[in-house]
Structure 1
């Protein structure tokens, strides 16, 4: 076992080392390719997730806007109903006051009502004068001087 054996061992060990290096290089190349592929897939997935989050945010914002609009609409309807109710109550009160005032005015001060009608050369006047509890009706027909 001389120098030939050590040279053969050295050649064998050198071949084993070269093969190991080559296998390592192939393995690292395969792992690098797998890592790059995984990185590409992760980037794509992140992009999809960001788009989905954006869509969810948009939907949530639209829902919030719709709810806010509905709340504002409901509040405005309630305010309108409340003000309309108050207005109707005031209107009824005004009508009651007007009825009593007119009755009082009619019975204390009196009033004059009437109408007229013109036919050919005649003026028909009908007047009703009311003073307190007394009433007087006047009907008169006046001939108008019309030149022909």
Structure 2
């Protein structure tokens, strides 16, 4: 019968085939109105149409599901890539900060060392000056000196008593060393 559809036709899709070539359309014929009796579709046609609708719906669902799954896979990959990039940048910043901190600590220790050496050199020159003047003076007159020192933490307490006949010279000083423990 004309209105019935075969089961094989129910599974065919209306996708155009690439192999088919377009043929020129024949010139339109004058239309003659014929009244065809409209027959209600049979149960087989209705069943085939229902199956086609269901199958096409399933194909669309599957296509959408696979597209969403691919999008999720791409999003996860992108998040991992961004996390790796951010972690690499964080490590690089940390490494740079550590290098800067070490360099500044080294420079600070060198400066402190130079300051302590300068201070020590000044003290040594002062001691030498006192010793030279004392030695030259002790040769010319009779006298003696008495002194003591005490080293406590980062300071030096120095106390000198110089006796020259009837004259007494007393020197006491507390010298701080800029040394950190």
String of CA shifts for 1:78-106, please: whole Å, max 9, x gaps.
11111111111111111111110111111
Q: Quote the residue 1:25 is aligned against.
A: 58
TM-score, length basis structure 1: 0.63
Structure ranking higher on relative contact order (CA contacts 8 Å, 6+ apart):
2
TM-score, length basis structure 2: 0.53
Deviation for aligned residue 1:67: 0.8
Displacement over 3 Å in runs of 4+: 10-17
Partner of 2:69: helix, strand, or coil?
helix
Q: Quote the residue 1:72 is aligned against.
A: 105
Q: Greater helix share, 1 or 2?
A: 1
Partner of 1:5: helix, strand, or coil?
coil
Q: Quote the residue 1:46 is aligned against.
A: 79
- Counterpart-to-counterpart distance in 2, 1:19 and 1:7: 15
Q: Quote the residue 1:60 is aligned against.
A: 93
Deviation for aligned residue 1:62: 0.7
**Is 1:93 matched with 2:93?**
no
Q: Point out where structure 2 has 5 or more consecutive residues left out of the alignment.
A: 1-35, 144-181
Count of residue correspondences: 108
Q: Quote the residue 2:39 is aligned against.
A: 5
Q: Quote the residue 1:146 is aligned against.
A: none
- For the aligned residue pairs, the C-alpha RMSD in angstroms reads 2.4
Partner of 1:6: helix, strand, or coil?
coil
Deviation for aligned residue 1:27: 1.2
